[in-house]
Amino acid sequence: MSPVMYNLLNVVLILVCVVFGAALLTWLERRLLGIWQDRYGPNRVGPFGTLQIVADMIKLLMKQDWVPPFADRLIFIVAPAFAMFVVVAAFAVIPMAPGVGVVDLNIGLLFFLAMTSLGVYAVMFGAYASDNKYAMLGGLRAAAQMVSYEVFMGLSLMGVVMLAGTFNLRELVLAQADGWFIGPQIVGFFIFFMAGIAESHRTPFDLPEAEHELTAGFHTEYSGMKFAMFFIGEYVSVLMSAAMITVLFFGGWLGPAWFPPLGWFLLKTMALVLLMILIRGSLPRPRYDQLMSFGWKFMLPLALVNLLITGALILI
Amino acid sequence: MKQKTGLGQYIYIVWDYFYSNIVTLVKVASHTFTKADTVEYPEQMPYLAPRFRGRIVLTRDPTGEERCVACNLCASACPTDCISLQKTEDESGRWSAEYFRINFSRCVFCGMCEEACPTYAIQLTQDFELAEYERQNMVYEKQHLLIDGPGKHPDYNFYELSGKAVSGRAKGAGTQEAEPVNLKSLLP
C-alpha cells in the first residue's frame, strides 16, 4: 500500500471511528447513568439499545432546521460546525498506536492546547448569534469558565513536558516506557482531568448549559442537526480529553504485549471515559462564583506549585 | 460551613471539596450492583393494589339484573362531568338507565362515582390500558360499560333490602327486608 493511501485510510478511519464512537458514547452514558440511578436506560432499540443512536439520528434529521428570524444567520450556522471542527482537528495529533494517528507534529501538545482554546469561540459564536438571554448568559459563563480553565490546563501539562523534554506526543508516550507519568505527575493529572471536564463543559462544570437555570445555555435556540453538532462535539471532546490523558499520563499504547497497542490505548481511554461518566452521574453542579474561585484560587496555585516542584526535582 | 481563618479554612475547603466528593463517587459507583427498580411494563405487568382505580364498569346484581338505578349521584359527584345518563322506569317499577355514557378522555379516575353510588353499581377496576387511536372511541356507552358479574360486592342486591316495591312484590317482601311497621297499631 502506498504511503498516501495509508495516510488517507488512517484519516478516514479515525474520523469515522471518532464520530461514531462519540455517538455511541451518548448511548453508553445514558445506559450507565441509568444503571447508577437504579434503572435500565435505553434498552429497547436493537441489542442492549445500541441502535438508540440510529433512532436519535433519524429523529434529529427529521426535525425542522430552524434558524430564528432574530438570529445572526451566518454565525448561527457556522458555530456548530466550528464546535465540531475544533475537537475533531484536535484529535488529529493524538497518537493512538505505532502507525495509527493522523499527523505526527513536533508541537503536537501545543496544537492540542490551541485547538481546545478555539473551542470557546464556537460556544461564544453560538451564544452571540442566538440573540437570546439564556444563550447570552450561557455564553458569558462559557467564555469566563473556558478561558480561566485554559490557563492551568496548559500549566498542568508543563510538568509532563519537562519530564519528557518534548512537545511531540509520540515521543511523550515513548518517554513513559519505564514508568507512566501518572506517578510523578499525579497532581498534574488531577488538574488536567478537572480542566478537561471543564473544557468539554460537562457536569459538574456544565454551567454554560445548566439546564435548570438556563434552559440549555448557549445552544438554547439550536435544534435538529445543528444541535446534534454541538452535542456530538461535546462527546468528541470527552473522548479527546480521555485520549489525551491516556497519552500524557497513562503511557498511551504502552502495555504488556499480550494485548495489541491500539487495544491498550482504547482500554485506557474507555476507563477514563467511564470515570468521567461516573463523575457526571454523582457530583452536583457548583455555583458559578464557586467554580471560578475554585479555578483561580485553588487549581491555579496548585498547578504552579506542581510546576515548581517538578522543575526543582529535575534540576537536582 | 464553619467559619475559620487562614490555613485552617483553606484545609477545610480542600477537605470539603474532595473527601465528600470521593465518598459520593464511591457510593454512586456501588449502585452498579444494585437491582434496577424499573418494571419493564409491556412485558412485565406492574403490581396493582387491590383498590387500584382503573376503567369504570357497571355491575349486575346476583340475579343478573342491572344494579344501576339511574339516581344520577355519580354524575353529580363527578368532578370532571364525564358521566352522563338518563333515567327510565319499566312497567315493574324498577329504575334503570336509558343511556349511560362515560367519556374516558375526561375521566380522572378519582373514584368519587364509586363512593357516591348507593347500589354498588358503578365500580372501578384494575384495567388501565385504555389507549385508543381515535378520540371518539374513548366515549364508552352503556353496552361497553356493563359487565356480567357483580364485581366487588357479590351478594349485594339493592331491591332485596331497600324496601321498595317492584315487580309486583310488596314492600318488605324482599329476602333481607323486615315487614313494614304499622304505625297506627298499639300492639308491641
The H or E element spanning position B88 is: strand B83-89
Do B104 and B21 lie in one domain? The reply is: no
Do B98 and B21 lie in one domain? The reply is: no
Sequence ranges of the domains in chain A: 67-315
Residues of chain B with Cβ-Cβ distance to A36 below 8 Å are 28-29, 31-32
Q: Which band of pLDDT confidence, cut at 50, 70 and 90, is reported for residue B124?
A: very high
Residues of chain B with Cβ-Cβ distance to A281 below 8 Å are 28
- Please name the member of B17, B29, B38 whose beta carbon is closest to the beta carbon of A278: B29
**Cell numbers 456548530: residue:** A80
Global pTM reads 0.77
CA distance A232 to A24: 10
Examine the pLDDT at B76 and tell me if it is beyond 60. yes
Question: A45-100 pLDDT, tens per residue?
Answer: 878 888 888 888 888 888 888 888 888 888 888 888 888 888 888 888 888 888 77
Q: B98 lies in a domain?
A: yes
Q: What ipTM was estimated for this complex?
A: 0.73
Quick check: B21 and A283 CB within 8 A? Answer: yes
Chain A residues with CB under 8 Å of a chain B CB are: 34-40, 278-279, 281-283, 294, 298
C-alpha cell at A152: 492551568
Contact (Cβ atoms closer than 8 angstroms) between residue A86 and residue A115: yes
B109 torsion bin: left (phi>0), alpha (psi -120 to 50), beta (else): left
**Total tally of structural domains belonging to chain B:** 2
Question: B171-188 pLDDT, tens per residue?
Answer: 777 777 788 888 888 877
Nearest 5°: CA angle at B69, between B68 and B72?
95
Q: Give the pLDDT confidence score for residue B100 in this predicted structure.
A: 92
* B101, β-bridge pairs: B84
Structural domain containing residue B88? 56-161
Q: B187 lies in a domain?
A: no
Do B85 and B125 lie in one domain? The reply is: yes
Quick check: A40 and B36 CB within 8 A? Answer: yes
CA distances from A151 to A107, A297, A307, B94, B111 (A): 18, 12, 13, 88, 63
Name the range with the highest mean pLDDT among A139-153, A274-288, B48-62, B153-167: B48-62
Beta strands B56-58 and B95-103: pairing type?
unpaired
Give the closest residue to A274 by CA, choosing from A20, A95, A36.
A36
Q: Give the pLDDT confidence score for residue B4 in this predicted structure.
A: 59
- What is the arithmetic mean of pLDDT over B84-92? 88
Do B22 and B95 lie in one domain? The reply is: no
Do B20 and B72 lie in one domain? The reply is: no
Q: CA of B38, closest CA in chain A: separation in Å? A: 5
Quick check: A298 and B40 CB within 8 A? Answer: no
Q: Give the pLDDT confidence score for residue A314 in this predicted structure.
A: 85
Q: If you average pLDDT over every residue of chain A, what do you get?
A: 85
Q: Which band of pLDDT confidence, cut at 50, 70 and 90, is reported for residue A202?
A: confident
Do B84 and B147 lie in one domain? The reply is: yes
**Looking at the complex, does the CB of residue B21 fall below 8 Å from at least one CB of chain A?**
yes
C-alpha cell at B41: 411494563
Q: Give the pLDDT confidence score for residue B3 in this predicted structure.
A: 59
Q: Give the pLDDT confidence score for residue A184 in this predicted structure.
A: 81
Here the CATH number for the domain that contains residue B89 is: 3.30.70.3270
Examine the pLDDT at B79 and tell me if it is beyond 90. yes
**Looking at the complex, does the CB of residue B43 fall below 8 Å from at least one CB of chain A?**
no
Do B63 and B136 lie in one domain? The reply is: yes
Q: Give the pLDDT confidence score for residue A144 in this predicted structure.
A: 84
CA distance A100 to A39: 38
Q: Give the pLDDT confidence score for residue A5 in this predicted structure.
A: 85
A16, amino acid identity: V
Q: Give the pLDDT confidence score for residue B164 in this predicted structure.
A: 78
Q: B61 lies in a domain?
A: yes
Do B73 and B123 lie in one domain? The reply is: yes
Question: A16-25 pLDDT, tens per residue?
Answer: 888 888 888 8
Q: B82 lies in a domain?
A: yes
